[in-house]
Chains A and B, each alone.
Chain A
């Protein structure tokens, strides 16, 4: 069946190679024209940015010169996201297949599995899966633990870790696909994206499904594979419904945006369709904020987290996010005031696009959506203490 998580139950653990090949058959040979197949499939990256995969591979191929490197990105530093670690822990061979197709297509001689250091089950499953592969396959793969920091999954940070052991973003250009690990073109691709590649290599078309982490005020939070045509309302219903009446939906994780539930309920979990409407599926997190929770305090808590996750390399990000988080906290703890509301408006504009990576951009876009969605709450907030529940 043309799905990532078809086959044995997830709680059975990693799917062994024999079961994987019984379910999907061996990985068929793919040629140079695979990039066209990939482009036609319409697959977009599942790590957060949603960039078209075919375009990315073509660009990396143009810089490859036979010494490209593939980084399978399983850092998954997004606090609410669980889908990458669940995928690695249960369907490790799909990720490996995708990485091998990438290596073959881009003539890469090295694959790095970049896995979050806290994702122990995922790392064990990937290591075990690797041990089931041939010597020739195993010979080009290494595993690098990704530090448990938000920015560690950023593609230049992944390259920086492999090159120098430091998972902080670097100034671009050069982009990793131009000059990355050891100076060679480097394709940094999310592990779910690679798993989709493994299906496209077999069937020629995308599965039309996506992995979603459902979080917050729902009856059964967790990771599910859904059709991209399914709406958020259908997703929540399928997972047992809401635990309490939702006040807002945070779509796309901490770099995402707050949406009104009535609107969110009608939106499909389709990265391209969402993009056309000005929203982003991001890394596939759908978080529900229950009506009993305070959106101002929730926003302040997340801004504090994001400020603390700045790699402290660029002034506007390090100082700007700290100042924004502090202003949110003052409103939360001491009550709404005109000065801080004005600062939030000005600083969210000032900070944007002024980091080496997009950490500050993600944080201020999140905050802007909060200021828009909860404008009444921000302007009338009465003092109480900040708490965050991711």
Chain B
């Protein structure tokens, strides 16, 4: 199952822990909020991605199955 990282932008407080735990996929913008590289998380990073999700202090980060984006 391929999964990707998503942030709940309203919950996110910019604590920045995720960027320390998964610098391969997450960097912080000039105000401390995460910028996530889009796309599925490769297998060798999955454990670190799961750790970043578990350790987010405001539970804003999640892994979800990759699916086609639906609008509206």
- Chain B's interface: helix, strand, loop or mixed, by majority? loop
Partner of A313, one of B10, B29, B32: B10
Q: In whole angstroms, how far apart are the Cα atoms of A81 and B37 in the complex? A: 37
Q: Does A134 contact B (CB under 8 A)?
A: no
Asked if A314 and B30 sit within 8 Å, CB to CB, the answer is no
Asked if A155 and B10 sit within 8 Å, CB to CB, the answer is no
Q: Does A293 contact B (CB under 8 A)?
A: no
The chain A residue sitting closest to B27, CB to CB, is A350
Asked if A315 and B72 sit within 8 Å, CB to CB, the answer is no
Q: A56-B72, A323-B30, A350-B29 are in contact. Are A171 and B35 (CB under 8 A)?
A: no
Residues of B within 8 A of A350 (CB): 29-30, 35
Partner of B72, one of A177, A313, A323: A177
Interface centre among B11, B13, B29 (most CB of A within 10 A): B29
Asked if B30 and A315 sit within 8 Å, CB to CB, the answer is no
Interface string of A317-342 (1 = CB under 8 A from B): 10110010000000000000000000
Chain B 15-37 interface residues, beta-carbon cutoff 8 Å to A: 29-33, 35
Residues of A within 8 A of B46 (CB): none
Asked if B12 and A314 sit within 8 Å, CB to CB, the answer is yes
- Number of B residues, CB within 8 Å of A: 16
Q: A323-B31, A350-B30 are in contact. Are A59 and B72 (CB under 8 A)?
A: yes
Q: In whole angstroms, how far apart are the Cα atoms of A314 and B10 in the complex? A: 5
Asked if A356 and B30 sit within 8 Å, CB to CB, the answer is no
Q: A51-B71, A56-B72 are in contact. Are A320 and B10 (CB under 8 A)?
A: no
Q: Does A175 contact B (CB under 8 A)?
A: yes
Partner of A171, one of B10, B30, B72: B10
Q: In whole angstroms, how far apart are the Cα atoms of A177 and B72 in the complex? A: 8
Interface string of A47-86 (1 = CB under 8 A from B): 0010100011001000000000000000000000000000
Q: Does B8 contact A (CB under 8 A)?
A: yes
CB of B25, distance to nearest CB on chain A (Å): 15
Partner of B29, one of A59, A173, A316, A355: A316
Q: A316-B31, A350-B35 are in contact. Are A356 and B72 (CB under 8 A)?
A: no
Residues of B within 8 A of A (CB): 8-14, 29-33, 35, 70-72
Residues of A within 8 A of B (CB): 49, 51, 55-56, 59, 155, 170-171, 173, 175, 177, 313-317, 319-320, 323, 347, 350-351, 354-356
Closest 10 CB pairs of A and B: A319-B31, A314-B9, A315-B33, A313-B10, A356-B9, A315-B14, A356-B10, A350-B29, A51-B72, A316-B33
